[in-house]
Structure 1
Amino acid sequence: MKAIAARLVQSGEPAARHFETTVDLTRHMLHREAIDLVVVDADTHLDAIARLSAWKTSQGRKDFAILVVAQLLRPEFMARALELGGDDIVAGAFDIDEFVARAARCLARLNATATQTFRIELAGYALDRRTQRVTLDGLTLLLTAQEFELAWLFFSSPGVLISRPRLAAEIWQASAADIGYALGKQIHKLRGKLRLEKGGAVALRAVYSSGYRLEVSGDDRSDRPSAELTFTSFLPTGTYR
């Protein structure tokens, strides 16, 4: 924790955030903006790898990677950490440079998956980025180019809270203050066009004072790609954004 905090100060990144339990972490990820990387200390929280991996699968989340740090000097221990759901490992005596390199590689793989995605299928919806076409059970739903980009942002990150500032920046290249009530009106219009009202298989929910989240009910969850992510800060034995 000290080594990572020192590197963050040196690089000018935001401070690290620590989570004691997987419950605290998953609650945060349901009600706050997405986290790109979860760092687990397997020497003290080995079970957290499997728990996070299971939660990730059950929620259909592909928006974060799991980086394991631990002694794990024996090959079978390393293999076990990967089998439990770890995406990469920093084993042996902790080295901050190796940690930064492996963290960056985890994020690069997430970004590569996101940028190579051209089609999303979810609970009867199909979005094709090349044609900017959206269908629901085969029926075409007409959207403007801006509405399609907004829909793509949500459907590529189901279950992830997307903040008002991020929406304003990515869709309108402006600040949330500049957009004002227009953002809420645009979300309302998108809900209507895509039939994303509360009670359906897929709903676009407002999270008070934070942003919006696309929610998928029960068995309608499917294997779906994640959105493009950004690396902004480390969060050991918890997460970094």
Structure 2
Amino acid sequence: MTVIAARSAHCGGAAARQFDTVVDLIRHMLHSEAIDLVVVDADTHLDAVARLSAWKASQGREDFAVLVVAQLLRPERMAHALESGCDDIVAGAFNIDEFDARAARCLARLGAGATRALRLEIAGYVLDRHTQSVTLDGASLPLNELDFKLAWLFFLNPGVLIGRPRIAAEIGQASVADIGATLGKHMHRLRARLKIEKGGAVGLRAVYSAGYRLEVDDDDRRSRCRQRSGLPYAIPEALSCDAAM
């Protein structure tokens, strides 16, 4: 953790943060801005991989990768980690250069997966990236190009807090300062054009001073995720795990 944090700070990357339990990590991912990479120390907490992967599948989360580090991982346990859902492994004596290379590869695959997605179906909404069209229960919704870009961003990451800087970049603004007070107007228009109503199956919630999050009714989310993954819907029990982001 110390080496990873030092390299991240030296390169000007995102700050690494340590979590003591899977539950602490999940709470962060539910209420804080989106993350890209979770690192699990499998020498002591290999079970964290399966527990985190089960939660990831149950929530339909495709927005982060899981990288395992381990000095003493036997081949059969490496296979178990991969079967449990980790994206890659740094095995043997820890080498920060190898870690950087594997982490970058995990993030590249994550980005490629998001780019390949062409159609999203959530709670009666169907978004088609090829035609840049959105329908709700079969009825077409009148979105312009900017509306569709924002809708795609949120529907691709349901339950994930999308920060104001990322929204500003999506809209084509260099910074949050450039978008200023117009951000609220963009979101108000998007809700109206998507026919998002209070108490409905889908909500677009403002998180004060942070950004916005698309919230989907739990029943719809669980149904979709069970069909896709076959994994149980369960929040993992508390356990100790070293995870850096």
Deviation at 1:237, TM superposition (A): 3.0
Deviation at 1:14, TM superposition (A): 4.0
Q: Distance in 1 between matches of 2:143 and 2:73?
A: 54
Identity across the alignment (%): 71
Opposite residue 169 of structure 2, the aligned amino acid is: A
Q: Distance in 2 between matches of 1:9 and 1:203?
A: 36
Change (3 A) 1:103 1:203: same
Please state whether the residue corresponding to 1:61 is helix, strand or coil.
coil
Q: Distance in 1 between matches of 2:181 and 2:127?
A: 27
For 2:217, the equivalent position in structure 1 comes to: 217
For 2:152, the equivalent position in structure 1 comes to: 152
Query: For 1:27-82, what per-residue CA distance to the aligned partner results, in whole angstroms no more than 9, with x for missing partners?
Result: 11111111111000012222211221111111110000111111344211111112
Deviating more after overlay: 98-107 vs 66-75: 66-75
Change (3 A) 1:66 1:80: same
Deviation at 1:176, TM superposition (A): 2.1
Q: Distance in 2 between matches of 1:175 and 1:7?
A: 26
* Residue 238 in structure 1 maps to residue 222 in structure 2: no
Q: Distance in 1 between matches of 2:169 and 2:212?
A: 14
Q: Distance in 1 between matches of 2:121 and 2:179?
A: 30
Query: For 1:82-115, what per-residue CA distance to the aligned partner results, in whole angstroms no more than 9, with x for missing partners?
Result: 2222111111221212211111111111111111
For 1:62, the equivalent position in structure 2 comes to: 62
Q: Structure 1 regions of 5+ residues with no counterpart? A: 225-235
Q: Distance in 2 between matches of 1:14 and 1:65?
A: 15
What TM-score results when the alignment is normalised by the length of structure 2?
0.87
- The within-5 A match list for 1:173-184 is 173-184=173-184
**Moved beyond 6 Å, runs of 4+:** none
Q: Do 1:197 and 1:204's aligned partners in 2 also have CA atoms closer than 8 Å?
A: no
For 1:132, the equivalent position in structure 2 comes to: 132
Q: Do 1:72 and 1:78's aligned partners in 2 also have CA atoms closer than 8 Å?
A: no
For 2:52, the equivalent position in structure 1 comes to: 52
Please state whether the residue corresponding to 2:61 is helix, strand or coil.
coil
Change (3 A) 1:87 1:2: same
Number of residue pairs matched?
229
Query: For 1:2-22, what per-residue CA distance to the aligned partner results, in whole angstroms no more than 9, with x for missing partners?
Result: 322332244232432111111
